[in-house]
Amino acid sequence: MRILCTNDDGIHAPGLEVVEQIARALSDDVWVVAPELDQSGVSHSLSLNDPLRLREVGPRHFAVRGTPTDCVIMGARHILGKEMPDLVLSGVNRGRNVAEDVVYSGTIAGALEGTILGLPSFALSQEFSVETREKPLWETAQKFGPEIIRKVMDAGVPKNTVINVNFPARLPGEVKGVRVTRQGKRNLGFLNIDQRRDGRGNPYFWIGFERAAVMDAPAEGTDLAALAAGYVSVTPLRLDRTDEAFSETLTKTLG
């Protein structure tokens, strides 16, 4: 099985080494094509107005000056030659990708591009806590990742589905198990604008994240609830975003 690995944290991110280890537990035909620089939050961005610079870092290891989407396309359509990958793994992201994160995440986008190309694709993310922020518990992703991927692959991944896997901020022995979940929703207002001034007194801004003063309990069955309870969250996300129920309503209204 030929596996293409990418991420959004960049070619030198520690999580990329972890996803490669997960891939090598499944196959010895592993290729790594990752962004030259950190591309967190770029979502499914595609470089159309800038050239892509390709650098060979080592055997079967390449850096692309572009987005995770660019990396998957370059890997599948150019670097690997005529033989397409059988599987795309994106991650392991430093930090979870749940709830609204799936809209912004470059990690999700890398896997999503694999799905668009017709390949079984997984987005893998390692949650961290306040205590593990500087040193995420990568061993948790490394332990549970290969078996989850095997089982999902054996079940058969639908053509228009990407598998979003999040590992809790717990040591492997403290993980309670694996739950299949749906996408959750956070409290509103978690994005924050931080205004500052440069050395000349001109304003500039950072988009950041802040914790709500009171956190609602996550809805049962969601990715947020699973992680909070100490489970690995496995969420199938559909490429087709059509709201079928509302489409029926609109058909009655506009038809």
Task: Say how far apart CA 226 and CA 20 lie, in whole Å.
Answer: 25
User: How confident is the model over 108-157, as pLDDT tens digits?
Assistant: 999 999 999 999 999 999 999 999 999 999 999 999 999 999 999 999 99
Looking at the domain assignment, is residue 197 inside a domain?
no
| Structure letter (DSSP) for residue 183 | -
Residue 188: its pLDDT value, please?
A: 59
Residue 213: its pLDDT value, please?
A: 52
Task: Say how far apart CA 205 and CA 129 lie, in whole Å.
Answer: 26
pTM of structure: 0.94
Residue 130, domain extent:
2-184+218-254
User: Do residues 60 and 31 lie in contact, with contact meaning Cβ atoms separated by under 8 Å?
Assistant: yes
Task: Say how far apart CA 42 and CA 26 lie, in whole Å.
Answer: 29
Is pLDDT at 186 greater than 90 in this prediction? no
Looking at the domain assignment, is residue 196 inside a domain?
no
User: Do residues 181 and 218 lie in contact, with contact meaning Cβ atoms separated by under 8 Å?
Assistant: no
Looking at the domain assignment, is residue 63 inside a domain?
yes
Looking at the domain assignment, is residue 93 inside a domain?
yes
Tokens of 165: 């896997």
CATH of the domain at 250: 3.40.1210.10
Domain count, the chain: 1
Question: Where do the H-state alpha helices sit in 8-127?
Answer: 14-24, 68-74, 101-104, 106-116
User: How confident is the model over 202-225, as pLDDT tens digits?
Assistant: 999 998 877 655 567 899 999 999
Looking at the domain assignment, is residue 248 inside a domain?
yes
Looking at the domain assignment, is residue 227 inside a domain?
yes
Looking at the domain assignment, is residue 189 inside a domain?
no
User: Do residues 112 and 239 lie in contact, with contact meaning Cβ atoms separated by under 8 Å?
Assistant: yes
User: How confident is the model over 24-60, as pLDDT tens digits?
Assistant: 999 999 999 999 999 999 999 999 999 999 999 999 9
Task: Say how far apart CA 86 and CA 75 lie, in whole Å.
Answer: 12
Tell which residue, 40, 69, 38, 32, has the closest CA to residue 52: 69
Residue 192: its pLDDT value, please?
A: 86
Looking at the domain assignment, is residue 247 inside a domain?
yes
